[in-house]
Structure 1
C-alpha cells in the first residue's frame, strides 16, 4: 500500500548495528515507522537500497579491519620487556644472590604482584633483563663494524666502544658475569646463558672477520678462541675497574690493540712518492 520495498527493510535490519536491534526489541513505538520511512526514501532517491547498504557496510568493515591490533601475547611480551628494563638497575646493583622480586618491587615503581604476574621468579626476570641489555650491546659493536672503512678506523672504533662500555655500564656487565657463573650451578640458567654467550661470540667474530677483510690476513684462530681471548681481557679489566683501578680501561685497550696486531698485522701504509727536482 505504501509502496514499500520490504526487501530493503530486511536488508537494512540485517545490516544495522546491534544497538538499533535492541531498540526494536525494546518495543519502541516510533521505531517501525522510522524503518519504513528509511526504506521508502531509499527507494525514491534513485539508488537501490541493497547497493547502498552493501557500500556502507563494506566501508564500515574496511575501516575497522584497517586497525592493526596487537595480539595479547605481543602486549604481554612488551610489558615483560618494560619491567625487565626497569628492574635492570636494581639487579645490577644487588646481584643474583641478594635480589628477590619483592626487593626489586621496593626499588621500583611496580608492585610485587605485577612483577609476579609477568615473571615466574627472579630467574625469569634476571634472564629477561640481561638478554635485552646484551642485545643492545651487540648492536653497538655492529655499528662500529659497519661504519669503519679502514683498518685504523675499525681499531679505534672497537677500542672506543670497549672503553665506553666498561666506563658507563660496568655494573650491568657484572650482572652478566654473575648470571654466567650461576649457570655452573643452576640448570635453570643453562640454555639462556649459552644463547647469550653464543650471540657475543658471533659479535666478536664479525669484528674479527672485518679486520681480516681490511688487513687481507686470516686471524689464525677459530671463533670460540677469539671470543675467549677478548672476553677474558674485558673481564679482567672489569674486575680492576670495579676495584678502583683508574688505569684499567687504558690498560685493557692497550692489551686489545696488541692482541689484534698479533692476529692481523696492520696493512702497510703507502709512502708518498718523492718529488721530482726541477732542472
Structure 2
C-alpha cells in the first residue's frame, strides 16, 4: 500500500469515526428500529448523502457505531484491575464504575441491548454482536480473576457464567433507570458484594506457607 493510499484510507476512517460519533447520540435516543439513515443525518451536521456515501445502509452504520463505541468500553475496568490492592477495594471500585457508566452513558447501553436482541433476527448484526459480546465477557473475566487473586480464592464459575450474572445485574439496573427508578443505582454495590463471592470457591492453600 502506497503512502497516498494509506492517507486516503486514514481520511475515510476519520470521517467514518466522525459520523459514528454524531450518529451514536441519535441511535441511543431512538433505538435500532426508529433510527433511519435520514433521521440520523437530520440530527447531525452531515447530509443524508454524506452518510449514505460512507455507509451503504443503516445496519452497516449501526454495526460500525457500536464497534467504535465498545472498542473504548472494553478497557473501562482495566484501572479497577490494575489499581485495586484488596478484594473489598476491588468490589467497591467495580461497583462505582458500573454506577458511573450507567449514569453517564445509559443511552449507549440501551442501544447495545437493543442490538443484541435484534441480532437474534438480523443475521447481518449477529457476527458483530457476538464479537463484541465476547470482548465484554473477557473484560468482566479480568475483573473476576483479579478479585479471586486478591481474595486468595479460586474461581469456580466459567467466564460466560460470570459475565451472564454481572451483565444481568447491569441490564436490570439500566431497565430500572429507564423507568425512572434512580434508586437502582444505589443497589448495585450491594448486588456486586453479594454476587461476586458466589463465583469463587474455597480459599487457595499457600503451599509455601504449609
Q: How does 1:226-241 map to 2 (within 5 A)?
A: 226-241=162-177
Question: Which residue of the other structure, out of 96, 106, 115, is the alignment partner of 1:170?
Answer: 106
Asked if the contact 1:212–1:264 (Cα under 8 Å) also holds between the matched residues in 2, the reply is yes
> How far 1:252 moved relative to its partner?
2.5
| 1:1-48: CA deviation from partner (whole Å, max 9, x where unpaired) | xxxxxxxxxxxxxxxxxxxxxxxxxxxxxxxxxxxxxxxxxxxxxxxx
> How far 1:208 moved relative to its partner?
0.7
Alpha-carbon distance between aligned partners in 2 of 1:264 and 1:253, rounded to the nearest angstrom: 18
Alpha-carbon distance between aligned partners in 2 of 1:248 and 1:227, rounded to the nearest angstrom: 20
Alpha-carbon distance between aligned partners in 2 of 1:149 and 1:133, rounded to the nearest angstrom: 29
Alpha-carbon distance between aligned partners in 2 of 1:219 and 1:102, rounded to the nearest angstrom: 48
Name the residue aligned to 1:71: 7
TM-score by length of 1: 0.68
> How far 1:189 moved relative to its partner?
0.3
Name the residue aligned to 2:206: none
Alpha-carbon distance between aligned partners in 1 of 2:90 and 2:18, rounded to the nearest angstrom: 33
State whether structure 2 residue 79 is matched by structure 1 residue 108: no
| 1:208-239: CA deviation from partner (whole Å, max 9, x where unpaired) | 11011111111210001000000111111111
Asked if the contact 2:92–2:189 (Cα under 8 Å) also holds between the matched residues in 1, the reply is no
TM-score by length of 2: 0.90
Q: What secondary structure sits across from 1:201 in the alignment?
A: helix
Alpha-carbon distance between aligned partners in 2 of 1:253 and 1:112, rounded to the nearest angstrom: 44
Higher relative contact order (CA 8 A, sep 6+): 2
> How far 1:84 moved relative to its partner?
0.5
Asked if the contact 1:212–1:219 (Cα under 8 Å) also holds between the matched residues in 2, the reply is yes
Q: What secondary structure sits across from 1:149 in the alignment?
A: coil
Q: How does 1:181-220 map to 2 (within 5 A)?
A: 181-220=117-156
> How far 1:202 moved relative to its partner?
0.3
How many residue pairs get aligned? The number is 200
Task: Kindly name which structure, 1 or 2, has the bigger radius of gyration based on alpha carbons.
Answer: 1
> How far 1:196 moved relative to its partner?
0.4
> How far 1:264 moved relative to its partner?
4.2
Q: What secondary structure sits across from 1:218 in the alignment?
A: strand
Alpha-carbon distance between aligned partners in 2 of 1:75 and 1:198, rounded to the nearest angstrom: 29
Q: Which runs of 5+ in 1 are unaligned?
A: 1-66, 268-279
Q: Which runs of 5+ in 2 are unaligned?
A: 204-210
Asked if the contact 1:211–1:264 (Cα under 8 Å) also holds between the matched residues in 2, the reply is no
> How far 1:119 moved relative to its partner?
0.6
Alpha-carbon distance between aligned partners in 2 of 1:182 and 1:71, rounded to the nearest angstrom: 36
Alpha-carbon distance between aligned partners in 1 of 2:153 and 2:159, rounded to the nearest angstrom: 15
Q: What secondary structure sits across from 1:139 in the alignment?
A: coil
Pairwise CA RMSD = 1.7
Alpha-carbon distance between aligned partners in 1 of 2:12 and 2:146, rounded to the nearest angstrom: 38
Alpha-carbon distance between aligned partners in 1 of 2:35 and 2:123, rounded to the nearest angstrom: 18
> How far 1:69 moved relative to its partner?
8.4
> How far 1:153 moved relative to its partner?
2.2
Name the residue aligned to 1:221: 157
